[in-house]
Amino acid sequence: MAEFAAFFDSGFYIWYNQNMDKAKFLKVYANLPINLRNDIILALDKKGPITWNVAYIEVNNNTKLGEEIFKKLEKLKII
């Protein structure tokens, strides 16, 4: 039981969950037709329009904007 608790206390658990989320996004992105990747998928108040390509760059680089984009896409059930 101590090993189980240590697993959840470590940063590995957080890293594992973030990568699983990233994998979900990448699966959707990879299955998009290339010509749709330049289409706008979100309009953020302070950042403006977000295309699939912008979302890919931000999510892939683990930026704060990428986290925001990911959460919005999940909320909208796009991913």
So what's the pLDDT on residue 12?
A: 52
The total of other beta-carbon atoms located within 10 Å of residue 3's CB is: 6
To which H or E segment does residue 42 belong? strand 40-44
For residue 77, the model assigns a pLDDT of: 92
User: What percent of the chain has a predicted confidence (pLDDT) above 90?
Assistant: 67
Looking only at the bridges linking them, the beta strands covering 40-44 and 48-51 are antiparallel
pLDDT at 22: 86
**pTM of this structure:** 0.74
Low-confidence ranges of the chain (pLDDT < 70): 1-20
> How far apart (Å, rounded) are the C-alpha atoms in residues 50 and 54?
6
